[in-house]
Chain A
């Protein structure tokens, strides 16, 4: 059996959980797949997840696991895994997973293969994970007793490729005894910055601006495009360096890694530092004056021209719809 650890907050399922389901489906072969979801009243998220082709969605409903703390998560998941006895535990490589998965693996004394971008099922299942900042891909196998823990890179799998079930999967409560006194962390109120922070990895559409935007006041045209597309605004490093947009909107090796359905790159040359943060996007649209800009090497649609002419035309066309 394969167990997917889904992630939710306030009843809203994390988009990347679908990616973990898709990865688990590739890994499973004819083995059943179940999911476990943790939270204080995560029924909505569990119901959303039950649309997937899963044998069951196990719900750990406890005020001790939300807000999130690594101690509570590890305690709950150790017990859930002990009960469900999966061969593999599959997680999306979210910020939260990065926080608790190493501890979970250490507690179980089992192998963790993190940040995978591919799976080769077979008699000896192997996992592909990028090394050297994505320049090379290593093929690794987990050693030792099951379960093996696997986290998959955001964007490596398409969430909407996850197979849906003919009927909703059964949602069943999973009762695990959690020891409140063993939870050593106490979550405080979210920070001011954190409350404003955008998690671009959750965005379905992104409009990103680069140096071609030239001046801060020109951001308005990109904002307008983002708003008609229902997209988040992001940027390459020079823009955030200049303080035109906050650093949490930076995409690339020193910012966030994203994989939206649509990525519109305005005046972005496509330096490798930027590309590593967005090359997993499904559809990349690039607008740049320089026909030789490397961004066109990865773009699905490229427009060579002045973004100040093209973007207003796009906005006008989109507004007609």
Chain B
């Protein structure tokens, strides 16, 4: 379209999470140190910086300390220092406390944070340093010139649900950049496009994912000392499912309660959200939450594949950082510090390349080298097979994890070659592991249905816009019910997918405006017919304190 506006910048960062914002702040610092001025812009699809960020979260401050040695004096919003770690193995009503905390779960020196508040703070800092922040703008397409990434296109605004322009129609903007840093998060839509259009992930082990579901609870004082970090294994998961629960005491009266499960569970009738409700009903958890109040809800996928699943993170004109690439330590359950560090390393690479006037792939490939030389590689390589090994079950996986720490990650690669998580889901008519989540009637005090929970995510979208979940519904209406029993209605934690009766048989209804942008459907659908694309900029959850 001829009336499309365009904007030229030196470096464009797509995504205002910890990776993208750390890149932005590092770029501001480098400009100051060298005395050059570059134009740097950050695109963020949330209406407000941080509003789409969700994590547990326990922060390892290593990268933050490198980015901002005086972070405490600068007022970093760190809820509490970790004071105590507790790890439990749960049975349906019992618990076994681990006599010692497994080394990867020791959090001495770390902080419990709200990632949303942390992101908002980083964003304010970046803006004060002269970085142009564009909240409320979603990048929908990569702009390519042959193999070279030359920028992104933002989404059109004011398109109605039939794809026709509304009176408020505004076409998206083309933002052209010498280097584009893709910090679009777990299963980022642009990174996904790049993986499909290039060979950066060819020959890799497939990325593995998990879904994290979380609530914030206000509870009476005296339940858990501030700074307590609890992790659980076992119930309601069985030996074949990867994951566990967490409770972090952000303050005396505010608990972050969540549940993570690998998106490689085998029974299509498993329901992560309902499993989370069962988890809260366990006496250990229910006692902590009794007479408390759930105040916030959210969900987000996370990349758990580790080192061997990382794509090549440097291409002609672009770098991939943070969760978008998969920089997360699934054994330590941490990725924020790795997101920040890879963002900083990408900033250094991009800055030098732009100053040198060469942003080709050979030049940007210095990013991969920087990662290999950094503590990112030193941390991730020794645990490179861990999540993959959990295909042997919980105890096999744990034994393997211990062994890996001894061998520093050395292993015969094929021994733990993995398949994409969605391929492990069994058809209902096939033999295989069965672990359907028992039905649960929410009491709306301790346990909730998905729709009620979504309300507490603050999710809003412009209602009159095309669905941002592109689904080839033929399989939904023909074979899915028989083969998988509509797993989308279970793996989606936000009641986006519903099967409703219709005269000519059950029909899929997509409640797109419930979407909390967790990306689980794009990942876990067994037929891979769901594509998540960004809705009109500004739509999505409005996380507060998450």
- Give every chain A residue within 8 A of B456 (Cβ-Cβ): 135
Question: Are A133 and B464 in contact, CB atoms less than 8 angstroms apart?
Answer: no
* A133-B455 contact in complex given A241-B511, A247-B464, C-beta closer than 8 Å: yes
How many of B's residues come within 8 Å of A, CB to CB? Answer: 19
Range class of the A interface residue count: 20 to 34
Rank and list the top 9 A-B pairs by shortest CB-CB distance, nearest first: A272-B455, A271-B451, A272-B452, A254-B463, A273-B455, A247-B463, A254-B513, A247-B464, A133-B458
Give min CB distance, B294 to chain A, whole Å. Answer: 9
Q: With A and B bound together, what is the CA distance between A271 and B450 in angstroms?
A: 10
Q: With A and B bound together, what is the CA distance between A222 and B444 in angstroms?
A: 30
**Listed A/B pairs (14) with beta-carbon separation below 8 Å:** A133-B458, A135-B295, A136-B295, A237-B511, A238-B511, A241-B509, A241-B511, A253-B455, A254-B460, A255-B463, A271-B451, A271-B452, A271-B455, A272-B451
- Give every chain B residue within 8 A of A133 (Cβ-Cβ): 455, 458
The yes or no answer to B264 lying at the interface (CB within 8 A) is no
Majority-rule SS of A interface residues: loop
The yes or no answer to A10 lying at the interface (CB within 8 A) is no
The yes or no answer to B544 lying at the interface (CB within 8 A) is yes
B511 to chain A: closest residue by CB: A241
Q: With A and B bound together, what is the CA distance between A133 and B509 in angstroms?
A: 26
How many contacting A-B pairs (Cβ < 8 A)? 38
Give min CB distance, A99 to chain B, whole Å. Answer: 16
Those of A128-169 within 8 Å (CB) of chain B:
132-133, 135-136
* A132-B513 contact in complex given A247-B463, A294-B444, C-beta closer than 8 Å: no
Q: With A and B bound together, what is the CA distance between A255 and B461 in angstroms?
A: 11
* A273-B451 contact in complex given A132-B295, A241-B511, A254-B513, C-beta closer than 8 Å: yes
Those of B279-332 within 8 Å (CB) of chain A:
295
Q: With A and B bound together, what is the CA distance between A207 and B455 in angstroms?
A: 24
Those of A237-281 within 8 Å (CB) of chain B:
237-238, 241-242, 247, 250, 253-255, 271-273, 276
Contacts from B to A (Cβ < 8 Å): 167, 295, 441, 444, 451-452, 454-456, 458, 460-461, 463-464, 500, 509, 511, 513, 544
Give min CB distance, A62 to chain B, whole Å. Answer: 29
- Give every chain B residue within 8 A of A241 (Cβ-Cβ): 509, 511
Those of A267-309 within 8 Å (CB) of chain B:
271-273, 276, 292, 294
Question: Are B544 and A132 in contact, CB atoms less than 8 angstroms apart?
Answer: yes
A136 to chain B: closest residue by CB: B295
Q: With A and B bound together, what is the CA distance between A253 and B511 in angstroms?
A: 14
Choose among A211, A250, A273 the residue with the greatest number of B CB atoms under 10 Å from its CB: A273
- Give every chain B residue within 8 A of A136 (Cβ-Cβ): 295
A250 to chain B: closest residue by CB: B463
Q: With A and B bound together, what is the CA distance between A55 and B513 in angstroms?
A: 48
- Give every chain B residue within 8 A of A250 (Cβ-Cβ): 463
A272 to chain B: closest residue by CB: B455
Choose among B441, B452, B463 the residue with the greatest number of A CB atoms under 10 Å from its CB: B463
Query: In the complex, given contacts A133-B458, A250-B463, A272-B451, what are 6 additional A-B residue pairs having Cβ atoms less than 8 angstroms apart?
Result: A132-B458, A242-B509, A247-B464, A253-B455, A254-B461, A271-B452
B449 to chain A: closest residue by CB: A271
- Give every chain A residue within 8 A of B167 (Cβ-Cβ): 191
Those of A59-73 within 8 Å (CB) of chain B:
none
Give min CB distance, B48 to chain A, whole Å. Answer: 15
Give min CB distance, A96 to chain B, whole Å. Answer: 19
Q: With A and B bound together, what is the CA distance between A253 and B461 in angstroms?
A: 11
Q: With A and B bound together, what is the CA distance between A294 and B500 in angstroms?
A: 20
Those of A199-254 within 8 Å (CB) of chain B:
211, 237-238, 241-242, 247, 250, 253-254
Q: With A and B bound together, what is the CA distance between A149 and B461 in angstroms?
A: 30
Give min CB distance, B505 to chain A, whole Å. Answer: 15
Q: With A and B bound together, what is the CA distance between A255 and B456 in angstroms?
A: 17
- Give every chain B residue within 8 A of A271 (Cβ-Cβ): 451-452, 455
- Give every chain B residue within 8 A of A211 (Cβ-Cβ): 500
- Give every chain A residue within 8 A of B464 (Cβ-Cβ): 247
Q: With A and B bound together, what is the CA distance between A319 and B295 in angstroms?
A: 46
Q: With A and B bound together, what is the CA distance between A272 and B453 in angstroms?
A: 9
Q: With A and B bound together, what is the CA distance between A247 and B451 in angstroms?
A: 20
- Give every chain A residue within 8 A of B454 (Cβ-Cβ): 273
Those of A39-94 within 8 Å (CB) of chain B:
none
B502 to chain A: closest residue by CB: A215
Choose among B444, B451, B455 the residue with the greatest number of A CB atoms under 10 Å from its CB: B455
Q: With A and B bound together, what is the CA distance between A29 and B181 in angstroms?
A: 61
Q: With A and B bound together, what is the CA distance between A70 and B354 in angstroms?
A: 48
Those of A166-211 within 8 Å (CB) of chain B:
191, 211
- Give every chain B residue within 8 A of A242 (Cβ-Cβ): 509
Q: With A and B bound together, what is the CA distance between A136 and B458 in angstroms?
A: 13
Q: With A and B bound together, what is the CA distance between A271 and B444 in angstroms?
A: 11
Give min CB distance, B295 to chain A, whole Å. Answer: 6
Per-residue contact bits, chain A 4-29, to B (CB 8 Å; 1 contact, 0 not): 00000000000000000000000000
- Give every chain A residue within 8 A of B461 (Cβ-Cβ): 254
